[in-house]
Structure 1
Amino acid sequence: MATAHRTLCGDAPKTSSDAARHDWTVEAVEAIYRSPLLELLGRANAVHRIHHDPTHVQKASLLSIKTGGCPEDCAYCPQSAHHREVILGKEQLMDPASVIEMATRAKDAGADRFCMGAAWRQVRDGAAFDAVLEMVRGVHDLGMEACVTLGMLRPHHAQQLKQAGLTAYNHNLDTSPEFYDQIITTRTYQDRLDTLAAVRSHGIDLCCGGIIGMGETIRDRASMLQVLARFSPHPESVPINALVPVAGTPLAHRDPIDPLELVRMVATARIVMPTSTVRLSAGRTDLNREAQIMCLMAGANSVFYGEKLLTTPNPEEDSDTALFKALGPIAA
C-alpha cells in the first residue's frame, strides 16, 4: 500500500474503510455512485490522497498499430467490420521501427506510458505477433511503460509478452455482465474474464475498465465496477471512458453524457479501488477544463495524451499543456 501523502491539513488519517476491499456488492457500489455529489467528491479525494501523490498525473500515449477490419461487433467501435457505413480506412499492422519512432516522440512530449492497440479478435502465433513483441521490446528499451490491447489471448502469449517487457495488458469489460449482450454478441463476458486471468497469471498488470453513455443504467455502471473491485488484487489500471458516438455505428445516435456522470464514475472507481490508477480516457474532448479538473479531484491520476485514442479524437497537446498549467506546479 502506498505511503499516505500530506494534505493541506496535514497527513490524512488512514481508516479501515480506506483499505482495498474485494467484497463489494452492487448495492453498495451503487449507493456510493448515488451519494450527494460534494460528499462523493470529498470522500474520493480523501481516499486518493491516502494512496497516491495528488500532484502527479501520468501522461499516456495511445497508438493504433493495426486499424479497422475487426471481426467483433462491438456497437461503439468504428473499427468493427460489421459496421459497413463507417468511413474508416483499413490499415495493415505497422512496422515496428515506425512504432518505436512514434513512441520516442511521445516520450519527448512528456508521456511515460505508451499503449499500442491492434484491431484483432485474438492474438495468433506468427509474424504479426512477433512484430508486436518487437514493438514491446523497443518501447521497454526506451524506459517507458509498455501496454498493448490485442483482443483475447492464451497463456503462452501472455508469457511471451511478459518476457518482451510488457508492463500492462488492456482488455476492458466495457459494461456490466447484465448489459453486455446489448453491446457485443461475438465475444462473451467470460471470454474477457478468461483473457484477464491469463494476463494476470504471468505477472502482467491489468488495464481494465469500461465505457459509460451506451444506454446502460446506473446499476449497470455499479455492476461493472463491482466486477472489477472483486478482482484480487484490483486491476492496476482502470480506464473510465465516455462514449464517443461515431457515425455508422449502432450507437451513433446516443447523446453525450452529462460531464458530472463521468465525475461520479471516476469518484466511485477511486473509492472502491483505492490503489488503482484511474485513467480519464475517451470522451475527454467533450469536457471543458473545469470538468476535467473535477475528475482529477475525484481521483483520476492519468490521462491519454495526444490527438487520437485509436480512431477517436483526443484533446490536442496544446490544450493539455494549458490544462496542466492551470493546475499549477504539478508533476506530470
Structure 2
Amino acid sequence: MISAFRVHRNCRPNLVRCSERPISSSIPTIVDEAPSPERPDHVTDSPSTWHQLAERVLDGHQLTPEEGLAILESDDACLPDLLAAAFRVRREHFGMDVQLYYLENARSGLCPEDCSYCSQSAVSDAPIDRYRLKSPEQLVAGAREAARNQARTYCIVASGRGPSDSDVNGVAEAVRQIKQDTGLHICCCLGLLTPDQAGQLKQAGVDRINHNLNTSRGFYDEICSTHSYQDRLDTLKACRDQGLELCCGLIVGMGETLRDVVSVCGELQELGVESIPVNFLNPIDGTPLENTDHLDPRFCLRVLVLFRLAHPTTEIRIAGGREVNLRSLQPLGLYAANSLFVSDYLTTAGQPASEDHRMIEDLGFRVVAHTATPPETVAG
C-alpha cells in the first residue's frame, strides 16, 4: 500500500494535483481539483517532518511514490528543511566527500537516433563538431587531463545507437593503457551493447557502464522513437550480467510530469544502480526541445533531495544542465548530491574546473581524487 508523507501546513503546496501537469520553467502549474492523498497519522504536522523522514530512511525505510511527490510538490518555505534532511542522509553515507567525473566526447554527432533532447541526434540541426571515434592515443590523453583535474572517474562517451566491434576494440585498447597510466575509475557510455561487447569492456578494465533511462517508461515514446525503453533495460541487464557497475539516470525538464520523475526514481530503485546522474535539460538550439524553458532552480534542488532520500547509499551526481538551471544555487545541490561533472559536457560548456574546486572548498567539502599519478607528473 502506498503511503504519503504529511508535511507542515506552511510547507505544503498552496494547491494540489500538480503531479499530472508537465514540468515548466518554474514550479509546475497546480490545479485545485482534488484533495491531497490521505497522510499517515503517525507523522506529526511539524517543521521537523522532513528530518523525521530522513531518520526513517537511515533506519531502512524505502521512500514511497507519494512521499516522493510530497517532496516535489513542497513549498519553497520547506527548502531549508528538505536540504537539511537530504544532507543528514548524505553525510551519514558519504561524509563530506565529492567525487568528480570528467567527460570525454569520444565520437560526436553522426547518430541515427531521434532523441529529441540531444544535439547529436539525427533530428538535430545544432552546430556541433562531428567526428568519428577518437584513437586510443587521444582517449588516453583525455584521461591524463581528467587526472590533472582531480577527477576520480573518466567517462568515455560515444554517440550512436551502439558501437561496432571495431569501436569496442579501440575503446578496450585505450582502457588498458589508461588503467596502467592513471588508475582512474573508468565509465563508458557507448549506446546499446550486446552481452559479448559488455564482457569485452569488463575484461579490458572498464568499471562501470552509463546507460540512462532518461525518463519514465510511460513518457519515453515522447522523446524517442528509434529505440525503446526496453532496449535500454536490456543493455543494463547485459552489463550487470557481465559484472559491470551501472550508472543510470534521467533528464528532468523535457515535458514530463512529476509522477514521471517519481516513476523513474522508483525504477532506478528496482535496478539497484551504483550511480545516478541527474540531468536538467539544457535546451540546445537546433534540437526539437530548443524552445523549452529552463527549470526553476528551487525545483531542481527538490529533485536532488528526492533522489538522495530515495537512494540513500547511491552516488547522486549533479550532471548536465547544472549551471543553467541551478544557477546561483549550484552549491546547495551538494547538500544532497555527492558528485559532479568537472569541466565541459559533451557539446556544451561547463563552468571552469577551478570554479568547481573553489565551490567545493568553500562549502567545506573535499574532492576524492584518483589514487595514481600520471607518469608525466612524477617528480624526478
Determine if the TM-score, normalized by the shorter chain, exceeds 0.5: yes
**Alignment correspondent of 1:81:** 122
Aligned match for 1:162, one of 178, 192, 202: 202
2:154 is the alignment partner of 1:118: no
What is the alpha-carbon root mean square deviation over aligned residues? 2.2
2:94 is the alignment partner of 1:52: yes
Aligned match for 1:292, one of 325, 330, 333: 330
**Alignment correspondent of 1:7:** none
2:360 is the alignment partner of 1:324: yes
**Alignment correspondent of 1:29:** 68
**Alignment correspondent of 1:8:** none
**Alignment correspondent of 1:191:** 231
- State the secondary structure of the residue aligned to 1:227: helix
Give structure 2 stretches of 5+ with no counterpart.
Answer: 1-50, 369-380
8 A Cα contact 2:114 2:224, kept in partner:
yes
Report deviation, 1:139: 2.5
- State the secondary structure of the residue aligned to 1:230: helix
Alpha-carbon separation, structure 1, partners of 2:122 and 2:59: 40
8 A Cα contact 2:54 2:89, kept in partner:
no
Q: Percent identity?
A: 39
| Superposed counterparts of 1:239-318, under 5 Å | 239-286=277-324, 290-297=328-335, 299-306=336-343, 308-318=344-354
8 A Cα contact 2:53 2:85, kept in partner:
no
Report deviation, 1:34: 2.7
Alpha-carbon separation, structure 2, partners of 1:162 and 1:22: 33
Alpha-carbon separation, structure 1, partners of 2:133 and 2:330: 33
Alpha-carbon separation, structure 2, partners of 1:120 and 1:21: 40
Aligned match for 2:211, one of 158, 171, 182: 171
Alpha-carbon separation, structure 2, partners of 1:329 and 1:48: 12
* Cα displacement string for residues 165-216 of structure 1 (whole angstroms, at most 9, x for unaligned residues): 1111000010111111111111111111111111111111110000111111
**Alignment correspondent of 1:38:** 80
Report deviation, 1:22: 9.6
- State the secondary structure of the residue aligned to 1:104: helix
Give structure 1 stretches of 5+ with no counterpart.
Answer: 1-11
Would the alpha carbon gap of residues 311 and 162 (structure 1) be closer, same or farther in structure 2, given more than 3 Å must change? same
8 A Cα contact 1:40 1:264, kept in partner:
yes
Q: Which has the larger radius of gyration?
A: 2
The residue type equivalent to 1:310 in the other structure is L
**Alignment correspondent of 1:235:** 273
8 A Cα contact 2:104 2:156, kept in partner:
yes
8 A Cα contact 1:206 1:237, kept in partner:
yes
TM-score, structure 1 length as denominator?
0.88
Report deviation, 1:128: 1.9
8 A Cα contact 2:251 2:279, kept in partner:
yes
8 A Cα contact 2:114 2:122, kept in partner:
yes
TM-score, structure 2 length as denominator?
0.78
* Cα displacement string for residues 66-88 of structure 1 (whole angstroms, at most 9, x for unaligned residues): 100111111010101222x2222
Report deviation, 1:15: 8.7
| Superposed counterparts of 1:62-141, under 5 Å | 62-83=103-124, 85-125=125-165, 127-141=166-180
- State the secondary structure of the residue aligned to 2:101: strand
Report deviation, 1:23: 6.4
- State the secondary structure of the residue aligned to 1:274: coil
Would the alpha carbon gap of residues 196 and 319 (structure 1) be closer, same or farther in structure 2, given more than 3 Å must change? same
Alpha-carbon separation, structure 2, partners of 1:132 and 1:315: 28
**Alignment correspondent of 2:193:** 153
Would the alpha carbon gap of residues 38 and 22 (structure 1) be closer, same or farther in structure 2, given more than 3 Å must change? closer
- State the secondary structure of the residue aligned to 2:154: strand
Would the alpha carbon gap of residues 23 and 193 (structure 1) be closer, same or farther in structure 2, given more than 3 Å must change? farther
The residue type equivalent to 2:91 in the other structure is R
- State the secondary structure of the residue aligned to 1:228: helix
Report deviation, 1:236: 0.5
Identify the range of structure 1 (151-160 vs 318-327) with the bigger mean alpha-carbon deviation: 318-327
8 A Cα contact 1:24 1:229, kept in partner:
no
- State the secondary structure of the residue aligned to 2:179: helix
8 A Cα contact 2:189 2:210, kept in partner:
yes
8 A Cα contact 2:100 2:367, kept in partner:
no
Alpha-carbon separation, structure 1, partners of 2:121 and 2:340: 25
Equivalences, count: 314
* Cα displacement string for residues 96-125 of structure 1 (whole angstroms, at most 9, x for unaligned residues): 111101211220221121001000201332
